[in-house]
Amino acid sequence: MDEKDGCGQDGQSTPGVNIMASMEGRGPSCLNVDKDALAGHEKPGFKLCSYVDSFSETHAGRIPIVKSGLGKEDLFSTVYVRWGIRRHDYKVVPGLYGIGHPDRASEVLVTANFKLTFDHLRRALPHISAWILVLDTKGINVWCAAGKGTFSTRELVKRIEACSLEKIVDHKRVIVPQLGATGVSAADVKKQSGFRVVYGPIRAKDIPAFLKNNRTADKPMRQVTFTLYERFVLTPVELKNALKPAFIAALVLFVVSGVGPGGFSFSGAWERGLLAVLALVTGIFSGGFVTPVLLPYIPFREFAAKGIIAGSVFAILLMVAISSAINGMAGFGALFLFSMAISSFLAMNFTGTTPFTSPSGVEKEMKRFIPVQVVALAVSSGLWIYSAF
C-alpha cells in the first residue's frame, strides 16, 4: 500500500481499511462491518478491518478506534503467522489509531506495523485510552526493525508530521518501546518534530503500570526475558521452515540408501531410507524444538554446541529403539552423526531470536561450527553407504 499519507488523507492508505484484502489474500483479516456507524466509512473496493470498532473526529480528521480484544479472525491469523504462513505480509496500515476514548491529553504509543506487534499492544490496553502511532517497518517487529533501520528517527518524524499529531494532542510527547531505542534518537526527534521521546517498557503488558507510575519504568520493565513460553512460541515457524529442505533431504536419503553391493535396490532404498529419515526427523525435533525450549538448561553458551548435546541424547535414544534394524557399527555411526549435525545446525538458527547472543558472537559461532557440521554430514554419508556393503 502507498505509505505517503499514513493518516488517511489518501483513501488508499487509510488506517483500518484494506484494499480488497479477502480477494487478494493479503494483509490482516478484514471484514465487511454491519454496524451502521461503520458501514458508512466503507468505499467501493475497500473493507474495514475487523479490529476497527468506531471512528473519532479530530482536528486532523477521522481516526479509527480499535478494539482491545482479539477476535476469532485475529486469533486464527496469529496461529498462521506463528507457523510462518504469510508471515512476511502480516501488516497493518501505518498511521494513527486510537484505543478506548482518547482525547487531547491522551498518551501517544509508538509501535511497528507488524500486525502481531500491533495486536500485542492493543490487547495490553483493555482499560487505557490512548493514541497508537504505527510506523511503517515493512511488516517487521520493533526490535528487528530498529536494527534494520525501518523503526527509525526518520520514520517517526515523518509519521508525526503526516498525522498532524500536534493538532491531536496538547502535549509534545511520544512513548517509544525500549527495544526501538537503537533506531530512534530522542534528541533528533525533538529537534526535527518538537516532540519529546519517552522510552517505554520492553513488554506491552507493562504499559498500564508504566503510565500509572507517571511514565516511569522499574527495573523488571527494562529487563529482556526469554521465558519457557517465549522460547516455545518460536519453535513452530522454525519447524515449518525446515519442512521443505527436510522433504528434499528425505528424497536424497532414499536414493542414497538404495546403493548396495548389487547396485541400486528399491527394497534397500525403502528399508534403509526409512531409518535415515527417522534420524533426520529426530535431528529436526531435537534441534528445532527441544534445544530452544530447554535452552537455559543445556550446557555451553554456543547454540550449535547445545544442539550437539540435545542431538546426541536423542540420537542415542533412536539407536536403542531401532538397533535391531541397523547393520553394523558403520550404520550406527552414520545415523548418529547425521542426526546430531542436523540438530546442531537447526539449533544455531535461534541465535538471532534471543537476547543471549550478539551479532559478532553469532558470526564467530557460525565460523566455528558450520565446518564441523559439514564434516559430520560428509562422514555420515560415507559411513551410511559403506554400511550397505
317 and 365 share a domain?
Answer: yes
Which domain does 26 fall in, by range? 11-223
In-domain check, residue 319 = yes
User: With b meaning 16 or more CB within 10 Å and e meaning fewer, what string describes 309-330?
Assistant: bbbbebbeebbeebeeebeeeb
- State the pLDDT at residue 291: 93
Element (DSSP H or E) covering residue 236: helix 235-257
pLDDT band at 230 (very low <50, low <70, confident <90, very high): confident
- State the pLDDT at residue 41: 55
Q: 136-156, pLDDT tens digit by residue? A: 999 999 988 998 899 999 999
Q: Give the cell for residue 178.
A: 525500549
What's the rounded mean pLDDT across residues 166-180? 95
Residue type, 247: F
Q: Alpha-carbon distance 8 to 5, whole Å?
A: 6
What's the rounded mean pLDDT across residues 271-293? 95
Q: 253-269, pLDDT tens digit by residue? A: 999 999 988 888 898 89
% of the chain at pLDDT higher than 70: 86
173 and 261 share a domain?
Answer: no
22 and 64 share a domain?
Answer: yes
In-domain check, residue 1 = no
What's the rounded mean pLDDT across residues 307-322? 96
Residue 175 has pLDDT above 90, yes or no: yes
233 and 218 share a domain?
Answer: no
Closest CA to 208 of 109, 284, 84: 109
Q: Give the cell for residue 229.
A: 513460553
- State the pLDDT at residue 382: 94
Last residue of a domain, one of 172, 189, 223: 223
129 and 65 share a domain?
Answer: yes
Q: Alpha-carbon distance 209 to 228, whole Å?
A: 24
296 and 187 share a domain?
Answer: no
Last residue of a domain, one of 223, 251, 285: 223
Residue 25 has pLDDT above 50, yes or no: no
In-domain check, residue 290 = yes
In-domain check, residue 373 = yes
304 and 242 share a domain?
Answer: yes
In-domain check, residue 4 = no
What's the rounded mean pLDDT across residues 311-334? 95
202 and 247 share a domain?
Answer: no
CATH number, domain containing residue 66: 3.40.50.11600
- State the pLDDT at residue 350: 79
In-domain check, residue 3 = no
187 and 48 share a domain?
Answer: yes
pLDDT band at 10 (very low <50, low <70, confident <90, very high): very low
In-domain check, residue 5 = no
Residue 33 has pLDDT above 70, yes or no: no
Element (DSSP H or E) covering residue 96: strand 95-99
Element (DSSP H or E) covering residue 47: strand 46-48
Last residue of a domain, one of 223, 240, 275: 223
Q: How many domains does the chain have?
A: 2
206 and 281 share a domain?
Answer: no
- State the pLDDT at residue 48: 81
In-domain check, residue 267 = yes
pLDDT band at 65 (very low <50, low <70, confident <90, very high): very high
183 and 329 share a domain?
Answer: no
- State the pLDDT at residue 318: 96
Residue 237 has pLDDT above 50, yes or no: yes
User: pTM value?
Assistant: 0.75
| Higher per-residue confidence, 361 vs 134 | 134
Residue 325 has pLDDT above 80, yes or no: yes
Q: Give the cell for residue 312.
A: 546426541
Q: What does the CA dihedral 17, 22, 26, 28 come to, rounded to 10 degrees?
A: 50
What's the rounded mean pLDDT across residues 271-292? 95
Say whether 56 sits in a helix, a strand or coil: strand
Q: Which residues are paired to 260 by β-bridges?
A: 263
| Higher per-residue confidence, 324 vs 3 | 324
